[in-house]
Structures are given as C-alpha cells and as structure tokens.
Amino acid sequence: MPKRKSKFLGRPRFFSTTDKSIARLHRNHKDLSTKINQSRENGDSAQKNKYRQTNKNSSHKYSTETH
C-alpha cells in the first residue's frame, strides 16, 4: 500500500513543473487511485478515497458502484 502511494507522489519530479502539468498529474492520480481502490475492493483505501473525491460526478459514481 505505501509503495503505491509513494510512486504517485514521486511522479511530478519527472515531469515539467508547469501549473497545467501539475493539475493534469493530480487529475490522473485521482482517477488511477479510484480505479485501483475499486478493483482491489479494499475497504480502508476506499474509505479514504471517498473523502478525497471533490467531483460530484465521480463521488456519485463511486457511491453507486459500492452499494
């Protein structure tokens, strides 16, 4: 679990540090972490991911898929 997290956190170092690229990487990180949590069905990570969601559509999708 911690390994996967650190991999994502370390990513921006290898890319250009413009605001757009950072925003894009942050979006990708959120999408990827959501997919990983849903595929593994790990309750703890899924719970953490639920609070991280800011987009209404993604949180709605998340709630419908877990019920």
Its pTM stands at 0.19
In a domain, 64, yes or no: yes
* CA–centroid distance for 10 within its chain: 14
- Whether 39 and 11 have beta carbons less than 8 Å apart is answered as no
* Segments forming the whole domain that contains residue 58: 34-67
Number of domains present in the structure of the chain: 1
What residue spans of 1-67 are helical by DSSP H? 2-10, 19-40, 43-52, 56-66
**Contacts of 19-22 spanning 24+ positions with Cβ under 8 A:** none
Residue 47, domain member (yes or no): yes
| Residue 62 located in a structural domain | yes
Q: Is residue 38 part of a domain?
A: yes
pLDDT per position as a tens digit, 6-33: 555 555 555 555 666 666 666 766 666 6
In angstroms, the CA 37 to CA 35 distance is: 5
- pLDDT 10s digits, 37-54: 666 655 555 555 555 555
